[in-house]
Amino acid sequence: MDSFKDMMNDVVEYGSCCECGTCVLVCPHNIIEYIDGKPKQTAKADAAHDFCGISEGIGCDVCAQVCPRIGDREFNLQDRVFAEQEGQTFDGGFGKYQEIFVARAVDQTVLDIGQDGGVVTTILLHCLEQGLIDGAVVSAPDPEKPCSPKPVCATTADEIRDAAGSWYTYCPNDLAMEQAAEKECKSVAFVGVPCQVTPLRKAELFDPGLLVNDRKKPKHLERQTASIKGPADRVTLSIGLLCSEVFDFAGLMEGMIQRDLDIPLSTIRKFNVKGKVLVYPEEGEVVEIELKDAQQHAREACEHCGDFSAELADISCGGVGAMDWTITVVRTDRGREIMDGVVAAGLVERRPIEEFDGSLKTMLRLARHQHQRVPAERVPVSAVHPPQFLKRG
């Protein structure tokens, strides 16, 4: 198994950490904390950043097993995720799936607050109303920091509606699984970008037998197993958001938009990307920013992601050039069961993907591009040469 030391050196120190925070979430021994967007060893202040006494003592390394940038990557996990699906599964350039279509909410209020077609919000509201979930892990606006989302576990319809939309800056949604536990939620819908869906799948698929050794007492095994399995066991539905990259908040929001364009962040009601960055002020016309200019502020960590379309989610959703509509990819039996219920209830309007040929081609192109930038192998942080890339698909 990969170790804590491997993760801290070959991921965090190397610069590929996506900042999902899942390693901190599952750490059973309080070795690391989430500080300035990164896991940091705080258990022993005078020790090296890559030192974990538990890892080097009785053994643990639970954190490294869920890291999306080390060990098995998304495409290594697909066969295991989809092996037992009963529905007919196809293998597309955007991962395995059962059905793909375009949809939008019938409820105009949901459509108005949604990012594109309001499908994700519609699914969450339906699941909550039907008692299929008792919480939804989402990113919601931070009232103390405009345009900056924070991870929350929403347990009411109002909280779900308040979380509608996206700001295209990174929010560590996985950390809200701790809130789900505190609120005693047993059945959670998890919404996140691909690098947040993957860690929970890795936790779900992890074999606790790998933690067994002759140095641990039963209580140690129980604690470590519960820590890695607990969050994943609460997830009854995962909804992945299509994502090629997100932007640095300080660079794009505070720098380009607020400072250079003189648009106070507190006056922005919506943000979108459709070939250009679209900024919607509360008053006045939409402000357009050339995507190539905004991409100067794309997070460097996103260059290490190989999954555009959340290929391990139950359902994947995103705009992909379709204004006011959501490209919806149903992948698993659970995803299909939920989506069939939403459709049967008349909550969404559906159209064939063939009517959005441009969006499909864009999705395929972006998925292929992202596949091609996955590092072929981990490059130690001490390496002096750039990483090699594996071309896939």
Element (H, E) at 269: strand 268-273
Give the span between the Cα atoms of 198 and 66, in whole angstroms.
8
Which positions ≥6 away from 303 have C-beta within 8 Å?
245, 373
Q: Which residues pair with 102 in a beta bridge?
A: 327, 351
Q: Mind listing the pLDDT tens digit for each residue in 316-332?
A: 999 998 889 999 999 99
pLDDT > 90? residue 384: no
Domain that holds residue 104: 76-194+239-372
Mean model confidence pLDDT for the chain: 92
The whole-number pLDDT of residue 322 equals 86
* Other residues' Cβ atoms within 10 Å of the Cβ of residue 200: 30
Any domain includes 57: no
CA-based max dimension of the chain: 67
Backbone phi, then psi, for 352, in 5-degree steps?
A: -65, 145
Give the span between the Cα atoms of 201 and 199, in whole angstroms.
5
- Strand duo 235-241 + 315-318: pairing: parallel
pLDDT > 70? residue 378: no
Element (H, E) at 188: strand 188-192
Any domain includes 387: no
Give the span between the Cα atoms of 129 and 223, in whole angstroms.
34
Total domains present in the chain: 1
pLDDT > 70? residue 47: yes
The whole-number pLDDT of residue 323 equals 85
Query: What is the edge-to-edge ordering of all strands in the sheet holding 145-154?
Result: 145-154, 135-142, 188-192, 235-241, 315-318, 326-330, 99-105, 348-352
The whole-number pLDDT of residue 377 equals 53
Give the span between the Cα atoms of 140 and 374, in whole angstroms.
30
DSSP 203-237: HHH--GGGG--TT--HHHHHHHHHHHHHHHHHEEE
Any domain includes 85: yes
The whole-number pLDDT of residue 376 equals 53
Confidence of residue 178 (pLDDT cuts 50, 70, 90): very high
Any domain includes 224: no
Q: Which residues pair with 38 in a beta bridge?
A: 35
Q: What is the mean pLDDT of residues 51-57?
A: 97
Backbone phi, then psi, for 387, in 5-degree steps?
A: -65, 150
The whole-number pLDDT of residue 372 equals 87
Confidence of residue 380 (pLDDT cuts 50, 70, 90): very low
Is the whole model's pTM more than 0.85, yes or no? Answer: yes
pLDDT > 50? residue 291: yes
Any domain includes 346: yes
Give the span between the Cα atoms of 356 and 376, in whole angstroms.
33
Query: Using an 8 Å Cβ cutoff, are 307 and 370 in contact?
Result: yes
Q: Which residues of 344-364 are buried (b: 16+ CB within 10 A; e: fewer)?
A: eeebbeeeebeebeebbebbb
Any domain includes 243: yes
Element (H, E) at 148: strand 145-154
pLDDT above 70 as % of the chain: 95
Any domain includes 126: yes
pLDDT above 90 as % of the chain: 85
The whole-number pLDDT of residue 393 equals 36
Any domain includes 274: yes
Which 8-state DSSP code applies to residue 152? E
Query: Using an 8 Å Cβ cutoff, are 64 and 2 in contact?
Result: yes
Q: Which residues of 83-100 are buried (b: 16+ CB within 10 A; e: fewer)?
A: eebebebeebebbbbbbb
The whole-number pLDDT of residue 390 equals 36
The whole-number pLDDT of residue 84 equals 87
Q: Mind listing the pLDDT tens digit for each residue in 338-365?
A: 999 999 999 999 999 999 999 999 999 9
pLDDT > 50? residue 152: yes
Torsional class of 364: left (φ above 0), alpha (ψ -120 to 50), beta (otherwise): alpha
Q: Mind listing the pLDDT tens digit for each residue in 60-84?
A: 999 999 999 999 888 889 999 999 8
pLDDT > 60? residue 388: no
pLDDT > 80? residue 24: yes
Confidence of residue 277 (pLDDT cuts 50, 70, 90): very high
Residue with tokens 């140690």: 220
Q: Mind listing the pLDDT tens digit for each residue in 106-132?
A: 999 999 998 899 999 999 999 999 999
